[in-house]
Amino acid sequence: MDRSQGRTGGIASGSSHEAPTFTRNRALQIEEPLIFEMGQPGRTGVDLPEPPKTRDRLNGLRRAGEIGLPGLSEPQVVQHFTRLSQKNYAIDMGVYPLGSCTMKHNPRINEKVARFAGIGDLHPLQPVSTVQGALELIDRLAHWLKTLTGMPAVAMSPAAGAHGEMCGMMAIAAALEAKGERAQRRTVLAPESAHGTNPATAAALGFTVKPIPANERGRVDLAALKAALGPDVAAIMLTNPNTCGLFESEIVEISTAVHAAGAYFYCDGANFNAIVGRVRPGDLGVDCMHINLHKTFSTPHGGGGPGAGPVVLSAALAPYAPYPWIVKNGDKWVVAEDGAKVEGQPLGRLKAFHGQMGMFTRALAYIMSHGADGLKQVAEDAVLSANYVMASLQETMTPAFDGPCMHEVLFDDSFLKDTGVSTLDFAKAMIDEGYHPMTMYFPLVVHGAMLIEPTESVAKEDLDQFIATLKSLAQRAKSGTEAEAFKAAPLYSPRRRLDETLAARKPILRWRPSNTFKEAAE
Amino acid sequence: MADVKYTDEHEWIRIEGDVGTIGISAYAQEQLGDVVFVDVPAAGRKVAKGESVAVVESVKAASDIYAPASGEIIEANAGLAETPGDVNTEPMGKGWFFKMKLANKSELDGLMDQAAYDAFVKGLS
Amino acid sequence: MRYLPLTAADRRDMLSVIGVKSVDELFRDVPQSARLGAKVAGLPDHLGELEVERAFQAYAAKNVSPSVAPFFIGAGAYRHHVPATVDYMIQRGEFLTSYTPYQPEITQGTLQYLFEFQTQVTLLTGMEVANASMYDGSTGASEAVLMANRVTRRAKALLSGGLHPQYRGIIETTAHWQGFKTVSGKADVEGLEDLIAAVDKETSCVVVQNPSFFGHVRDFAKLAEACHAAGALLIVVVTEVVSLGLLKPPGEMGADIVVCEGQSIGNGLGFGGPYVGLFATKEKYMRQMPGRLVGETVDADGKRGFVLTLSTREQHIRREKATSNICTNAGLCALAFTVHLTLLGEAGLTRLAELNHAKAGQLADRLAAVPGVKVVNASFFNEFTVALPKVAAPVVEALAAKRILGGVPVSRLLPGDASVEKLLLLAATETATDGGMDALVAGLKEVL
């Protein structure tokens, strides 16, 4: 089919809800072209002075032709991106129960302090004498992270959770190398319910990933784990609380067995929000754990980043932490950078400069706002809210495991059996009700998984409304007569279901003058 | 009539002389959903039995295709680049993946025939 | 606590619906030995907004803000003016507090700006496809080498001596732990390095930087030919993306992968991050790319829309066979980049680049007139190297004592290399003023 003709056949239409308007807009829903379809030559959104006259020193390598960027004025730019923003759902608009993502309130004081002159505008390579406050700030956050986790060291530079995993697993590889065991220990154990980043990270480092089974309670099967441990095992990668929203009740036995076998325990800290201020991973025998500052500590997700993924390290792994880190030398803060003579055997460098400073600032503001008392309350309210959702929906939907759960509750799709409604359809119907869907089809160990994480940020009356909505949808689905309506959802969102097969079969990843999209003439 | 056999990974192989043509079964394409891309091996590549030689992708899944026998790839289905949907519409026909020259036909002895495979699939649901 | 909506009465009601007496019962799966009776010891309690603000003002007061000091530091991060519109736009809650666009029906805003971002990146770099961002340029460079290893099925990367030393360090770290070889050229201070002879049949890629770490502007067309003749890929790194407003794009030189640090457009210095990595390549390598990709499609009503696509490369589907473990990227920084570049447009970006080049030219001419100072570069964009008559690091410290942020001593990034200890790297952007240049020249004359 030729997409440039628009309104192609082959896709179920059924858009009777859409009254035709001349503009194709629907009141506040404005159809918005691409910037490349809007520009005019000679228009600009900036006023820059005439450059002073100097000699050209570009070595004859001036760009020959035009770049091809469109010209828009400032009001056009503001309108364009404002209209785009109005096509997004966001935490600021309501419940965002995306399991394992911790979509909690993002306080604006964090944004304000991150932009202070003297913090937000510092260059990473200014002389250290001119950035003493910035180094102190990083050290202060490091202190909080170490104390909250009960771990002696933290590597601050990883840019996000997956990057932190890479850092932690490299530290494990470094520790094995130092012991002369790296060639022998090539296996990493991970449960089948693990985040995809775990096997991806382990495999990138040359480890073979061996799955370990879960028991009927949704936890690691301890006997199977013990059987899998041996002189070939480098580490176990385990999320705790796990991706089914359950605390690994035999975690101490697990870490003891792992250490007895000469292996290390990598903990995926994605779900730290369930236990922050109440349980210290260091007390569970963890060797390293990344902390997603954009989850537990509220730095905004920003449509998919930036994040930050500091990694706390046990005494066994601390000597291998990557450059750079900050130390106090007398009354001065200094940075240990590449090549610095230091104790230990740093594994190298993972990122330019000092890490995600802007995220450090926001996370520290959040942490100081809560304090030790408030963070404990965060974990308690998050766990309370998830259990409240579970208790309220256990007659209507089907929890995958018995409670209590931690900060998120996992349902399977058995309540939808024989209704003709799938997990996907159910989620899309939530969109029409004004909610962002929960995480779907993850973890992979549960059929038609629906993972709901309400977080501590939702008021009880809003939780009640959310619960009532899910009950209503479940009852509609079970009525057996509305499968078609579910399949057609969503109807009221800026776009209806998108053709992902078409997108993947004939990838169009950029705008070209020839593929300007034209709606077919009526 | 060519001899068609199946692996328990839901691949089929049609044997004509010492040449085998390989694809995935109707059941497999149904499980995958709309196929959007098939990564086929280059002609001339020597492969061992059980080696991952191709990848078939839908929007939400990717599956490896393993060589059912040792030998040399002699032709890949170039048409799949333009119309990967052939795997869905004609899994046993236009949706074939590659042809290989079989080094040792006895390696195929353990594979299922049509009746055995039908029973195998029935047992899965 | 102002962020927590549940009241004591709410909590009681919820506990009773759950059927437990206290929240402690919900934590009963935690081993007894790890249960903390009280809050974590040794940490303070919560603070009001005013107190938090004061604490950060105190941190800020201990730093020297570039806004109050003559400023000439670059070396991979550049101080540019960011229009107020950019910061306003990225703080809109619909962008700021949204997640990765996994539900395309209600995230078309994010998806469309990422599609615009991808298009802008291809135009700037002269490449065919670009992804929806990497963490930053430095990690992107390392991912580019891994991609070249996949494409070529080889495992040896040649790293130019003109590559940012920290970028090189990251690639070497990755090489050590992920198992491939690197060969690094020695510091290319003069910009005369020739890597052609070093490319062989084992080489997966050659990584060069333009302008180089030392500021030189070079044409890599012949190197690209040599790479392709040997079956290797050419990776071009750009740490100052504004330069692409004026310079021949890497795609026209024959680059196979282009990685840029995008910070200069839309993103403040922020003491090193978060920044945004731009990653572009040729269409034939599209399926070997790391990171997220946004593609165009239609919805059930036939309207144009955008979705995340080719996801089978990624960790959440492909797991241990993924092209990268990257998940979260730099979405909001990509938005800042896109908004700023849209404001600039063709005319604005060209003018901005001209202005940077001219300011740097003025600075070079003035420094060349300082006794004992020699400008090393014959070519540069907005950054260049000077040789001082004495060791550079103490000079920079002495300037800092006068509240002048006068460049980066090369030895900070190449410690232990005696041949670079008198070298100073200086950048001038559109933010440089005549007064600032006067102060730097006067300061240098005093401390040299």
List, for residues C165-179, the tens digit of each pLDDT value: 999 999 999 999 999
**Location of structure tokens 């589907």:** C317
| pLDDT score of C313 | 81
B36 touches chain A (CB under 8 A): yes
Residues 19 through 58 of chain A touching chain C, CB cutoff 8 Å: 31-32, 34-36, 39, 41-46, 48-49, 51-58
Mutate to test the interface with A, among C32, C59, C117, C164 (most CBs of A within 10 A): C59
Which residues, in sequence order, are bridge partners of residue A288? Answer: A266, A313
What are the C-alpha distances in Å from A404 to residues A245, A418, C149?
Answer: 9, 28, 47
CB–CB contact C3 A369 (8 Å): yes
3-state helix, strand, coil in chain B (%, to 5): 25, 40, 40
Q: B3 vs chain C: nearest CA distance in angstroms?
A: 34
The predicted pLDDT at position A346 comes to 95
Q: Which amino acid is at A338?
A: D
| A3 pLDDT above the threshold of 60 | no
Section A60-76 average pLDDT: 96
Contacts of C54 in chain A (CB under 8 A): none
- State the nearest Cα–Cα gap between A502 and chain B, in angstroms: 8
Cα-atom radius of gyration of chain C, to the nearest Å? 25
Asked whether C267 and C276 are in contact (CB, 8 A), the reply is yes
Whether chain C has a CB inside 8 Å of the CB on B62: the answer is yes
For C442, the enclosing helix (H) or strand (E) is helix C434-447
SS3 per-residue string spanning C2-54: CCCCCCHHHHHHHHHHHCCCCHHHHHCCCCHHHCCCCCCCCCCECCCHHHHHH
The angle that helices C49-61 and A132-149 make with each other, rounded to 10 degrees, is 130
* Partners of residue B58 in chain A, C-beta under 8 Å: 501
Confirm or reject contact between B81 and chain C (CB < 8 A).
no
Of A11, A56, A66, the CB nearest to C302: A11
Distance (Å, whole) CA A15 – CA C302: 10
pLDDT of residue C122 exceeding 70, the answer is yes
User: Do B62 and C287 make contact, defined as CB atoms within 8 angstroms?
Assistant: no
Is any Cβ of chain C less than 8 angstroms from the Cβ of A384?
yes
pLDDT in tens, C178-196: 999 999 999 999 999 999 9
| Residue contact B62–C321, C-beta within 8 A | yes
Provide the pairing of β-strand A332-336 with A325-329: antiparallel
| Residue A516 confidence class, pLDDT cut points 50, 70, 90 | low
Percent helix / strand / coil, chain C, rounded to 5:
45, 15, 40
Asked whether the beta carbons of B71 and B47 are under 8 A apart, the reply is yes
Region of poorest pLDDT, from A18-22, A169-173, C361-365:
A18-22
CB contact under 8 A, A101 and C113: no
What CA–CA distance (Å, rounded) separates C205 from A21?
A: 55
- Note the pLDDT of residue A403: 87
The verdict on a CB contact (< 8 Å) between A505 and B57 is no
Residue closest to C409 by CA, chosen among C170, C69, C165: C165
Task: Enumerate residues 202 to 231 of chain A having a beta carbon within 8 A of any beta carbon in chain C.
Answer: 202-206, 209
Q: Is the pLDDT of residue B2 over 80?
A: no
Q: % helix / strand / coil in chain A, to the nearest 5? A: 35, 10, 50
Q: How far is CA A434 from CA A32, A144, A492, in A?
A: 22, 37, 9
Chain C contact probe: residue of B59, B60, B63 with most C CBs at under 10 A: B59
Please tell me which of the candidates A6, A113, A305 has its beta carbon nearest to residue C329. Answer: A305
For the structural domain made of C84-340, what CATH number should be given?
3.40.640.10
Phi, psi dihedral angles at A503 (to 5 degrees) = -60, -40
The 10s digit of each residue's pLDDT in A254-311 is 999 999 999 999 999 999 999 999 999 999 999 999 999 999 999 999 998 999 999 9
Minimum-distance CB partner of C35 among A279, A383, A437:
A279
pLDDT per position as a tens digit, A303-354: 989 999 999 999 999 999 999 999 999 999 999 988 877 788 999 999 999 9
Query: How far is it, in rounded angstroms, from Cα A340 to Cα A171?
Result: 18
Contact present, A456 and C4 (Cβ < 8 Å): yes
Inter-chain CB pairs, A–C, below 8 Å: 736
Domain-wise residue ranges, chain B: 3-103+113-119
Q: Do C312 and B57 touch (CB under 8 A)?
A: yes
Whole-number Å distance between alpha carbons of C164 and C237: 9
- Please, which residues bridge with residue C410 across strands? none
Name the token pair of C384. Answer: 């260049």
The pLDDT score that the predictor gives to residue A19 is 66
Q: Per the structure block, which two tokens stand in for B117? A: 């495979």
Whether residue A520 is predicted with pLDDT greater than 90 in this model: the reply is no
Mean pLDDT along residues C76-103 = 97
The CATH class, in words, for C66-82+346-447 is alpha beta
What is the reported pLDDT for C317?
74
**Using 50, 70 and 90 to split pLDDT, how confident is the model at C382?**
very high
How would residue C323 be classed by pLDDT, with cut points 50, 70 and 90?
confident
Alpha-carbon distance A520 to nearest alpha carbon in chain B (angstroms):
25
- Which residues on chain A are in Cβ contact (under 8 Å) with C83? 45-46, 74
Measured in angstroms, the CA of B36 and the nearest CA of chain C are apart by 9
Q: Between chains, do B60 and C321 touch, taking CB under 8 Å as contact?
A: no
Residue A111 token pair: 């944004």
If you average pLDDT over every residue of chain C, what do you get?
Answer: 96
pTM of the model: 0.95
CB contact under 8 A, C64 and A302: no
Residue of chain C minimizing CA distance to B52 = C321
Hey, what's the torsion of the CAs at C179, C414, C397, C209, to 10 degrees? -80
Helix (H) or strand (E) holding B102: strand B98-102
| Domain architecture of chain A: domains with CATH | 111-367 (3.40.640.10), 377-505 (3.90.1150.10)
Decide if domain B3-103+113-119 falls under CATH 2.40.50.100.
yes
Contact assessment for residue C385 and residue C395, using Cβ atoms and an 8 Å cutoff: no
**From A15, A70, A174, residue closest to C301, measured CB to CB:** A15
Q: To the nearest whole number, what is the mean pLDDT of chain B? A: 91
Q: Say how far residue A467 (Cα) sits from the centre of its chain.
A: 25
A143, A351, A367, A512, best to mutate vs chain C, most C CBs in 10 Å: A351
For residue A55, the distance in angstroms to the closest alpha carbon of chain B comes to 52
- How many CB atoms lie under 10 A from the CB of residue C400? 19
Q: A391 near C17, Cβ under 8 Å? A: yes
For residue C230, give every residue at least 6 positions away whose Cβ sits within 8 Å of its Cβ, in sequence order, or none: C199, C200, C201, C203
Residues of B within 8 A of A500 (CB-CB) are 59
Nearest by Cα to C101 from C325, C309, C315:
C309
Q: Give percent of chain A above pLDDT 70.
A: 95
ipTM more than 0.95? yes
| Separation in Å, CA of A365 to nearest CA in chain C | 6
How would residue A149 be classed by pLDDT, with cut points 50, 70 and 90? very high
Neighbours of chain A (3+ CB pairs under 8 A): B, C
**Predicted confidence (pLDDT) at residue A510 exceeds the cutoff of 80:** yes
Instruction: Categorize the per-residue pLDDT at A4 as very low, low, confident or very high, splitting at 50, 70 and 90.
Output: very low
Nearest residue of chain A to residue B32 (CA atoms): A501
Using pLDDT thresholds of 50, 70 and 90, give the confidence band for residue A518. low
The beta strands (E) that lie in C169-293 are given as 181-184, 205-209, 233-238, 257-261, 277-281
Residue A428 confidence class, pLDDT cut points 50, 70, 90: very high
Query: How many whole angstroms from its chain centre is CA A95?
Result: 17
Mean pLDDT across the stretch B71-76? 94
Are C160 and C208 spatial neighbours (Cβ–Cβ below 8 Å)?
Answer: yes
A305 Rama class: left (phi>0) / alpha (psi -120 to 50) / beta: left
Chain A closest-CA separation from residue C200 CA (Å)? 25
Contact A63 C46 (CB under 8 A): no
In chain A, the percentage of residues whose pLDDT exceeds 90 is 87
In chain C, CATH 3.40.640.10 sits at: 84-340
Is the pLDDT at A519 greater than 50, yes or no?
no
